[in-house]
Amino acid sequence: MTWLAFFFALELGWLPSGEFAMYELGPVADIFPVAYTAYTDLEAELELFGHVFAGGGVRTSVWKLDDGGYAFWPFAAVYRFYVGARAGPLEVGFRHYCMHPVVPYFGLAGGLYEAVWEGAYEELYVRVSNR
């Protein structure tokens, strides 16, 4: 029985495209939480013949309230999609990430919050790992 294991990975990549948009917040800038927010993350992956894989997921962030609690109103979603091939310690793949505000809930939060960012980027990568 192994009680301790060491894993490593080295990844080299290139971002062939990407863009982010930041919107002016005006007077509500001081109430938009970035740090100390909570999130949920759901991911799934399929593997074919033990070498080819494809997957994706979504991370949804929720508001932290002024009193320290959480409202569980989603305000942002980060989506990801990936596909590639693995052979031994080598992995070659493509990843797409995109971020979007969750607009319908801004009205429920009293209309004080605005969408402040959205965008996407992609990665082509080669990864070597002992896992």
pLDDT tens-digit readout, 71-85: 666 767 889 999 999
pLDDT band per the 50, 70, 90 thresholds, residue 12? confident
Tell me what pLDDT residue 56 has.
Answer: 93
More confident residue, 105 or 90: 90
More confident residue, 80 or 101: 80
Q: What is the 3-state secondary structure (H, E, C) of 24-93?
A: CCHHHHHHCCCCCCEEEEEEEEEEECCCEEEEEEEEEEEEECCCCCEEEEEEEEEEEEEEEEEECCEEEE
Residue 65 DSSP code: P
Residue 129, pLDDT > 80, answer yes
